[in-house]
Structure 1
Protein backbone atom coordinates (compact mmCIF):
# COMPACT_ATOMS: atom_id res chain seq x y z
CA UNK A 1 0.00 0.00 0.00
CA UNK A 2 1.43 3.37 -1.01
CA UNK A 3 2.04 6.21 1.44
CA UNK A 4 -0.74 8.25 -0.22
CA UNK A 5 -3.28 5.44 0.23
CA UNK A 6 -2.29 5.01 3.88
CA UNK A 7 -2.71 8.75 4.44
CA UNK A 8 -6.17 8.71 2.82
CA UNK A 9 -7.18 5.74 5.00
CA UNK A 10 -6.06 7.54 8.18
CA UNK A 11 -8.03 10.66 7.19
CA UNK A 12 -11.14 8.56 6.43
CA UNK A 13 -10.93 6.79 9.80
CA UNK A 14 -10.51 10.15 11.56
CA UNK A 15 -13.60 11.58 9.84
CA UNK A 16 -15.68 8.51 10.72
CA UNK A 17 -14.59 8.78 14.36
CA UNK A 18 -15.47 12.49 14.39
CA UNK A 19 -18.93 11.87 12.92
CA UNK A 20 -19.59 9.08 15.41
CA UNK A 21 -18.66 11.31 18.33
CA UNK A 22 -20.96 14.06 17.04
CA UNK A 23 -23.89 11.66 16.89
CA UNK A 24 -23.49 10.96 20.61
CA UNK A 25 -24.04 14.59 21.60
CA UNK A 26 -27.41 14.99 23.35
CA UNK A 27 -29.44 18.01 24.35
CA UNK A 28 -30.05 18.70 28.01
CA UNK A 29 -33.70 17.99 28.77
CA UNK A 30 -33.99 21.28 30.68
CA UNK A 31 -33.29 23.16 27.44
CA UNK A 32 -36.33 21.72 25.67
CA UNK A 33 -38.33 24.87 26.39
CA UNK A 34 -35.87 26.88 24.32
CA UNK A 35 -37.58 25.58 21.20
CA UNK A 36 -40.33 28.10 21.90
CA UNK A 37 -40.22 30.71 19.20
CA UNK A 38 -41.71 34.16 19.09
CA UNK A 39 -44.67 35.15 17.00
CA UNK A 40 -44.01 38.05 14.68
CA UNK A 41 -47.67 38.01 13.59
CA UNK A 42 -48.83 36.15 10.53
CA UNK A 43 -48.27 37.86 7.19
CA UNK A 44 -47.29 41.39 6.22
CA UNK A 45 -50.34 43.58 5.90
CA UNK A 46 -51.90 44.72 2.68
CA UNK A 47 -53.66 47.99 1.99
CA UNK A 48 -57.03 46.51 2.95
CA UNK A 49 -55.94 45.65 6.50
CA UNK A 50 -54.13 48.64 8.00
CA UNK A 51 -52.81 48.43 11.54
CA UNK A 52 -55.00 51.33 12.66
CA UNK A 53 -58.39 50.36 14.09
CA UNK A 54 -60.21 52.73 11.75
CA UNK A 55 -59.78 52.33 8.03
CA UNK A 56 -58.13 55.46 6.68
CA UNK A 57 -58.16 56.81 3.16
CA UNK A 58 -54.43 57.22 2.64
CA UNK A 59 -53.14 59.79 0.12
CA UNK A 60 -52.96 58.28 -3.36
CA UNK A 61 -49.20 58.83 -3.58
CA UNK A 62 -48.62 57.02 -0.26
CA UNK A 63 -50.86 54.15 -1.29
CA UNK A 64 -49.03 53.82 -4.61
CA UNK A 65 -45.66 53.58 -2.83
CA UNK A 66 -47.12 51.09 -0.36
CA UNK A 67 -48.51 48.84 -3.10
CA UNK A 68 -45.20 48.92 -4.97
CA UNK A 69 -43.41 47.93 -1.77
CA UNK A 70 -45.82 45.04 -1.26
CA UNK A 71 -45.26 43.84 -4.80
CA UNK A 72 -41.48 43.83 -4.33
CA UNK A 73 -41.14 42.61 -0.74
CA UNK A 74 -40.63 38.93 -1.60
CA UNK A 75 -38.15 39.43 -4.46
CA UNK A 76 -36.36 42.74 -3.86
CA UNK A 77 -36.33 43.65 -0.18
CA UNK A 78 -34.03 46.64 -0.68
CA UNK A 79 -36.38 48.32 -3.15
CA UNK A 80 -39.45 47.36 -1.09
CA UNK A 81 -37.90 49.07 1.94
CA UNK A 82 -37.43 52.26 -0.06
CA UNK A 83 -41.06 52.25 -1.20
CA UNK A 84 -42.38 51.71 2.34
CA UNK A 85 -40.14 54.52 3.59
CA UNK A 86 -41.53 56.85 0.92
CA UNK A 87 -45.08 55.87 1.87
CA UNK A 88 -44.34 56.81 5.49
CA UNK A 89 -42.75 60.10 4.42
CA UNK A 90 -46.01 60.97 2.64
CA UNK A 91 -48.33 59.55 5.32
CA UNK A 92 -46.48 59.50 8.70
CA UNK A 93 -49.28 57.55 10.43
CA UNK A 94 -49.60 54.80 7.81
CA UNK A 95 -49.40 51.86 10.18
CA UNK A 96 -49.45 49.16 7.52
CA UNK A 97 -46.37 50.68 5.85
CA UNK A 98 -44.52 50.73 9.19
CA UNK A 99 -45.53 47.14 9.81
CA UNK A 100 -44.30 45.75 6.50
CA UNK A 101 -41.14 47.86 6.68
CA UNK A 102 -40.40 46.58 10.19
CA UNK A 103 -40.88 43.00 9.03
CA UNK A 104 -38.25 43.44 6.33
CA UNK A 105 -35.81 45.24 8.64
CA UNK A 106 -36.26 42.56 11.29
CA UNK A 107 -35.52 39.85 8.72
CA UNK A 108 -32.33 41.74 7.83
CA UNK A 109 -31.39 42.35 11.49
CA UNK A 110 -31.24 46.08 10.79
CA UNK A 111 -31.73 47.13 14.40
CA UNK A 112 -30.40 50.66 13.88
CA UNK A 113 -33.12 51.46 11.36
CA UNK A 114 -35.74 49.88 13.61
CA UNK A 115 -34.70 52.25 16.40
CA UNK A 116 -35.22 55.17 14.03
CA UNK A 117 -38.69 53.89 13.19
CA UNK A 118 -39.47 53.68 16.89
CA UNK A 119 -38.71 57.41 17.21
CA UNK A 120 -40.93 58.12 14.21
CA UNK A 121 -43.78 56.12 15.78
CA UNK A 122 -43.49 58.19 18.92
CA UNK A 123 -43.45 61.41 16.91
CA UNK A 124 -46.53 60.30 14.95
CA UNK A 125 -48.22 59.17 18.20
CA UNK A 126 -48.95 55.85 16.55
CA UNK A 127 -49.75 53.26 19.23
CA UNK A 128 -50.12 49.81 17.72
CA UNK A 129 -49.77 46.38 19.33
CA UNK A 130 -48.42 44.71 16.14
CA UNK A 131 -45.75 47.40 15.76
CA UNK A 132 -44.68 47.34 19.41
CA UNK A 133 -44.58 43.53 19.20
CA UNK A 134 -42.08 43.67 16.34
CA UNK A 135 -39.94 46.21 18.20
CA UNK A 136 -39.98 43.90 21.23
CA UNK A 137 -38.83 40.95 19.11
CA UNK A 138 -35.95 43.10 17.83
CA UNK A 139 -34.89 43.93 21.39
CA UNK A 140 -35.11 40.29 22.46
CA UNK A 141 -32.97 39.20 19.50
CA UNK A 142 -30.27 41.61 20.69
CA UNK A 143 -30.42 40.23 24.22
CA UNK A 144 -32.10 43.35 25.63
CA UNK A 145 -34.69 41.50 27.68
CA UNK A 146 -35.86 44.36 29.90
CA UNK A 147 -36.39 46.59 26.86
CA UNK A 148 -38.27 43.77 25.14
CA UNK A 149 -40.52 43.45 28.18
CA UNK A 150 -41.24 47.20 28.07
CA UNK A 151 -42.29 47.00 24.41
CA UNK A 152 -44.54 44.00 25.05
CA UNK A 153 -46.15 46.01 27.85
CA UNK A 154 -46.73 48.87 25.40
CA UNK A 155 -48.26 46.41 22.94
CA UNK A 156 -50.62 45.00 25.56
CA UNK A 157 -51.59 48.48 26.72
CA UNK A 158 -52.53 49.26 23.12
CA UNK A 159 -54.41 45.95 22.77
CA UNK A 160 -54.67 43.65 25.84
CA UNK A 161 -55.92 40.82 23.61
CA UNK A 162 -53.15 40.89 21.00
CA UNK A 163 -52.27 37.22 20.60
CA UNK A 164 -48.68 37.58 19.39
CA UNK A 165 -47.77 39.95 22.23
CA UNK A 166 -49.37 37.71 24.86
CA UNK A 167 -47.52 34.65 23.56
CA UNK A 168 -44.22 36.48 23.24
CA UNK A 169 -44.46 38.07 26.68
CA UNK A 170 -45.07 34.61 28.14
CA UNK A 171 -42.03 33.18 26.33
CA UNK A 172 -39.88 36.14 27.42
CA UNK A 173 -40.86 35.69 31.08
CA UNK A 174 -40.44 31.92 30.85
CA UNK A 175 -37.17 31.47 28.97
CA UNK A 176 -35.25 34.71 29.31
CA UNK A 177 -36.36 36.46 32.51
CA UNK A 178 -37.20 33.26 34.42
CA UNK A 179 -40.27 34.84 35.98
CA UNK A 180 -42.30 31.64 35.95
CA UNK A 181 -45.42 32.92 37.71
CA UNK A 182 -45.67 35.82 35.25
CA UNK A 183 -45.04 33.44 32.36
CA UNK A 184 -47.93 31.26 33.52
CA UNK A 185 -50.18 34.32 33.74
CA UNK A 186 -49.46 35.36 30.14
CA UNK A 187 -49.66 31.80 28.76
CA UNK A 188 -53.10 31.47 30.35
CA UNK A 189 -54.20 34.84 28.97
CA UNK A 190 -52.98 33.77 25.54
CA UNK A 191 -54.89 30.50 25.84
CA UNK A 192 -58.06 32.33 26.94
CA UNK A 193 -57.91 34.70 23.98
CA UNK A 194 -57.33 31.80 21.59
CA UNK A 195 -60.48 30.13 22.92
CA UNK A 196 -62.49 33.34 22.57
CA UNK A 197 -61.33 33.67 18.97
CA UNK A 198 -62.03 29.96 18.38
CA UNK A 199 -58.37 29.23 17.71
CA UNK A 200 -55.98 26.69 19.18
CA UNK A 201 -52.26 26.40 19.86
CA UNK A 202 -51.61 22.81 20.92
CA UNK A 203 -48.08 23.64 22.09
CA UNK A 204 -49.28 25.84 24.95
CA UNK A 205 -50.94 23.01 26.87
CA UNK A 206 -47.61 21.15 27.03
CA UNK A 207 -45.72 24.34 27.86
CA UNK A 208 -48.06 25.01 30.79
CA UNK A 209 -47.62 21.46 32.11
CA UNK A 210 -43.83 21.86 31.92
CA UNK A 211 -44.03 25.31 33.52
CA UNK A 212 -46.19 24.08 36.41
CA UNK A 213 -43.69 21.31 37.12
CA UNK A 214 -40.88 23.87 37.31
CA UNK A 215 -42.98 26.12 39.54
CA UNK A 216 -43.64 23.18 41.87
CA UNK A 217 -39.90 22.48 42.07
CA UNK A 218 -39.20 26.12 42.92
CA UNK A 219 -41.85 26.16 45.63
CA UNK A 220 -40.50 22.91 47.10
CA UNK A 221 -37.03 24.40 47.65
Structure 2
Protein backbone atom coordinates (compact mmCIF):
# COMPACT_ATOMS: atom_id res chain seq x y z
CA UNK A 1 0.00 0.00 0.00
CA UNK A 2 1.53 3.32 -1.06
CA UNK A 3 1.81 6.33 1.21
CA UNK A 4 -1.03 7.99 -0.75
CA UNK A 5 -3.21 4.93 -0.22
CA UNK A 6 -2.35 4.97 3.47
CA UNK A 7 -3.36 8.62 3.65
CA UNK A 8 -6.60 7.64 1.91
CA UNK A 9 -7.22 4.98 4.56
CA UNK A 10 -6.73 7.65 7.21
CA UNK A 11 -8.96 10.02 5.29
CA UNK A 12 -11.68 7.38 4.99
CA UNK A 13 -11.52 6.92 8.74
CA UNK A 14 -11.80 10.67 9.17
CA UNK A 15 -14.71 10.78 6.73
CA UNK A 16 -16.59 8.16 8.67
CA UNK A 17 -15.87 10.07 11.84
CA UNK A 18 -18.12 13.07 11.54
CA UNK A 19 -17.81 13.75 15.24
CA UNK A 20 -14.05 13.76 14.82
CA UNK A 21 -13.48 10.28 16.16
CA UNK A 22 -12.18 7.51 13.96
CA UNK A 23 -14.79 4.82 13.79
CA UNK A 24 -14.26 1.16 13.27
CA UNK A 25 -13.57 -1.66 15.66
CA UNK A 26 -13.67 -0.40 19.22
CA UNK A 27 -15.93 2.64 18.71
CA UNK A 28 -17.21 3.53 22.16
CA UNK A 29 -20.65 4.68 23.25
CA UNK A 30 -19.60 8.31 23.78
CA UNK A 31 -18.46 8.59 20.17
CA UNK A 32 -21.66 6.96 18.98
CA UNK A 33 -23.73 9.42 21.02
CA UNK A 34 -21.87 12.36 19.47
CA UNK A 35 -22.59 11.06 15.99
CA UNK A 36 -26.28 10.61 16.75
CA UNK A 37 -26.54 14.31 17.67
CA UNK A 38 -25.77 15.30 14.07
CA UNK A 39 -28.76 16.00 11.85
CA UNK A 40 -29.15 13.89 8.71
CA UNK A 41 -28.86 17.06 6.59
CA UNK A 42 -25.58 18.06 8.23
CA UNK A 43 -24.22 14.53 7.86
CA UNK A 44 -25.18 14.48 4.18
CA UNK A 45 -23.56 17.87 3.56
CA UNK A 46 -20.44 16.75 5.37
CA UNK A 47 -20.14 13.55 3.35
CA UNK A 48 -20.59 15.48 0.11
CA UNK A 49 -17.90 17.96 1.10
CA UNK A 50 -15.45 15.22 2.08
CA UNK A 51 -15.97 13.55 -1.30
CA UNK A 52 -14.76 16.83 -2.86
CA UNK A 53 -11.42 16.76 -1.05
CA UNK A 54 -9.67 14.87 -3.86
CA UNK A 55 -11.55 16.47 -6.75
CA UNK A 56 -11.74 20.10 -5.67
CA UNK A 57 -9.68 20.76 -2.53
CA UNK A 58 -10.23 24.52 -2.63
CA UNK A 59 -14.02 24.19 -2.70
CA UNK A 60 -13.85 21.44 -0.09
CA UNK A 61 -11.84 23.76 2.16
CA UNK A 62 -14.47 26.52 1.85
CA UNK A 63 -17.29 24.12 2.62
CA UNK A 64 -15.43 22.49 5.54
CA UNK A 65 -14.81 25.93 7.01
CA UNK A 66 -18.53 26.69 6.68
CA UNK A 67 -19.47 23.40 8.34
CA UNK A 68 -16.92 23.96 11.10
CA UNK A 69 -18.38 27.40 11.80
CA UNK A 70 -21.88 25.91 11.87
CA UNK A 71 -20.88 23.12 14.28
CA UNK A 72 -17.60 23.99 16.06
CA UNK A 73 -18.39 21.27 18.62
CA UNK A 74 -17.68 18.61 15.97
CA UNK A 75 -14.01 18.04 15.22
CA UNK A 76 -14.60 16.16 11.93
CA UNK A 77 -14.71 19.24 9.68
CA UNK A 78 -11.69 20.74 11.47
CA UNK A 79 -9.78 17.46 11.19
CA UNK A 80 -10.33 17.41 7.44
CA UNK A 81 -9.16 21.02 7.18
CA UNK A 82 -5.97 19.88 8.92
CA UNK A 83 -5.61 17.03 6.43
CA UNK A 84 -5.95 19.51 3.56
CA UNK A 85 -3.16 21.63 5.10
CA UNK A 86 -1.02 18.48 5.41
CA UNK A 87 -1.70 17.49 1.80
CA UNK A 88 -0.81 21.01 0.66
CA UNK A 89 2.57 20.61 2.36
CA UNK A 90 1.86 23.39 4.85
CA UNK A 91 3.16 21.43 7.82
CA UNK A 92 3.19 24.39 10.18
CA UNK A 93 -0.49 25.17 9.54
CA UNK A 94 -1.27 21.44 9.77
CA UNK A 95 0.52 21.16 13.15
CA UNK A 96 -1.38 24.12 14.55
CA UNK A 97 -4.63 22.72 13.18
CA UNK A 98 -4.06 19.20 14.55
CA UNK A 99 -3.23 20.77 17.93
CA UNK A 100 -6.62 22.49 17.82
CA UNK A 101 -8.30 19.15 17.12
CA UNK A 102 -6.46 17.58 20.06
CA UNK A 103 -7.47 20.46 22.32
CA UNK A 104 -11.08 19.46 21.65
CA UNK A 105 -10.56 15.71 21.36
CA UNK A 106 -7.22 14.68 22.98
CA UNK A 107 -7.50 11.07 21.83
CA UNK A 108 -8.31 11.73 18.17
CA UNK A 109 -6.20 9.01 16.48
CA UNK A 110 -6.07 10.56 13.00
CA UNK A 111 -4.67 13.82 14.38
CA UNK A 112 -2.17 11.92 16.55
CA UNK A 113 -1.12 9.76 13.59
CA UNK A 114 -0.58 12.76 11.31
CA UNK A 115 1.55 14.45 13.96
CA UNK A 116 3.57 11.23 14.10
CA UNK A 117 4.06 11.30 10.34
CA UNK A 118 5.25 14.90 10.48
CA UNK A 119 7.66 14.12 13.34
CA UNK A 120 9.07 11.18 11.37
CA UNK A 121 9.50 13.39 8.31
CA UNK A 122 11.43 15.83 10.51
CA UNK A 123 13.70 13.01 11.72
CA UNK A 124 12.24 13.13 15.24
CA UNK A 125 11.79 9.37 15.54
CA UNK A 126 11.23 9.24 19.30
CA UNK A 127 8.53 11.89 19.06
CA UNK A 128 6.96 10.09 16.08
CA UNK A 129 6.84 6.89 18.12
CA UNK A 130 5.18 8.74 20.99
CA UNK A 131 2.48 10.15 18.67
CA UNK A 132 1.78 6.75 17.06
CA UNK A 133 1.58 5.04 20.45
CA UNK A 134 -0.82 7.70 21.72
CA UNK A 135 -3.01 7.07 18.66
CA UNK A 136 -2.93 3.34 19.37
CA UNK A 137 -3.75 3.91 23.02
CA UNK A 138 -6.81 5.86 21.88
CA UNK A 139 -7.72 3.24 19.26
CA UNK A 140 -5.70 -0.01 19.32
CA UNK A 141 -7.10 -0.92 15.89
CA UNK A 142 -6.17 2.36 14.16
CA UNK A 143 -4.80 1.01 10.88
CA UNK A 144 -2.64 3.96 9.77
CA UNK A 145 -0.94 4.14 13.19
CA UNK A 146 -0.29 0.38 13.30
CA UNK A 147 1.33 0.49 9.88
CA UNK A 148 3.24 3.73 10.48
CA UNK A 149 4.61 2.59 13.84
CA UNK A 150 5.65 -0.70 12.23
CA UNK A 151 7.50 1.17 9.47
CA UNK A 152 9.16 3.48 12.01
CA UNK A 153 10.36 0.60 14.18
CA UNK A 154 11.40 -1.54 11.20
CA UNK A 155 13.12 0.92 8.90
CA UNK A 156 14.17 3.78 11.13
CA UNK A 157 14.91 2.08 14.44
CA UNK A 158 15.82 -1.51 13.56
CA UNK A 159 13.34 -2.93 16.08
CA UNK A 160 12.26 -5.73 13.79
CA UNK A 161 10.45 -8.04 16.22
CA UNK A 162 8.18 -5.23 17.39
CA UNK A 163 7.60 -4.15 13.80
CA UNK A 164 6.66 -7.69 12.81
CA UNK A 165 4.00 -7.82 15.54
CA UNK A 166 2.56 -4.50 14.37
CA UNK A 167 2.50 -5.57 10.71
CA UNK A 168 0.75 -8.80 11.68
CA UNK A 169 -1.82 -6.92 13.77
CA UNK A 170 -2.37 -4.55 10.84
CA UNK A 171 -2.89 -7.44 8.41
CA UNK A 172 -5.30 -9.19 10.78
CA UNK A 173 -7.59 -6.14 10.79
CA UNK A 174 -7.79 -5.78 7.02
CA UNK A 175 -10.61 -7.43 5.07
CA UNK A 176 -7.93 -8.65 2.64
CA UNK A 177 -4.19 -8.74 3.38
CA UNK A 178 -2.08 -5.92 2.00
CA UNK A 179 0.36 -7.59 -0.43
CA UNK A 180 3.17 -5.13 0.33
CA UNK A 181 2.88 -5.63 4.08
CA UNK A 182 2.72 -9.39 3.48
CA UNK A 183 6.13 -9.12 1.78
CA UNK A 184 7.48 -7.14 4.73
CA UNK A 185 6.21 -9.81 7.13
CA UNK A 186 7.86 -12.58 5.11
CA UNK A 187 11.12 -10.64 4.89
CA UNK A 188 11.17 -9.93 8.63
CA UNK A 189 10.39 -13.56 9.50
CA UNK A 190 13.27 -14.68 7.30
CA UNK A 191 15.67 -12.20 8.88
CA UNK A 192 14.61 -13.06 12.41
* TM-score class normalised by the smaller sequence: 0.7 to 0.9
How do 1:44-63 and structure 2 match up within 5 A?
44=12, 49-50=17-18, 51-52=20-21, 53-54=31-32, 55-58=35-38
2:177 is matched with 200
* Aligned 8 A contact 1:44 1:100 in 2: no
2:96 is matched with 116
Determine the C-alpha separation between the residues in 2 that align with 1:175 and 1:136.
15
TM-score normalized by the length of structure 2: 0.73
Determine the C-alpha separation between the residues in 2 that align with 1:133 and 1:159.
11
User: Which of structures 1 and 2 has the larger relative contact order (alpha carbons within 8 angstroms, sep 6+)?
Assistant: 2
Determine the C-alpha separation between the residues in 2 that align with 1:91 and 1:180.
44
Q: How many residues align?
A: 178
How do 1:13-24 and structure 2 match up within 5 A?
none
Structure 1 residues 162 and 205, CA gap change in structure 2 (3 angstroms): same
TM-score normalized by the length of structure 1: 0.65
CA positional deviation for 1:156? 0.5
Determine the C-alpha separation between the residues in 1 that align with 2:177 and 2:15.
27
CA positional deviation for 1:75? 4.5
Q: CA RMSD in A?
A: 3.2
Gaps of 5+ in 2: 22-30
Query: What SS class does the counterpart of residue 40 from structure 1 fall into?
Result: helix
Match of 2:131 among 113, 134, 151: 151
Post-superposition CA distance 1:12-65 (Å, at most 9, x none): xxxxxxxxxxxxxxxxxxxxxxx9747224255687652433114347997698
CA positional deviation for 1:103? 2.5
Match of 1:163 among 143, 161, 183: 143
How do 1:67-78 and structure 2 match up within 5 A?
69-70=49-50, 72-78=52-58
Determine the C-alpha separation between the residues in 1 that align with 2:2 and 2:62.
33
1:213 is matched with 190
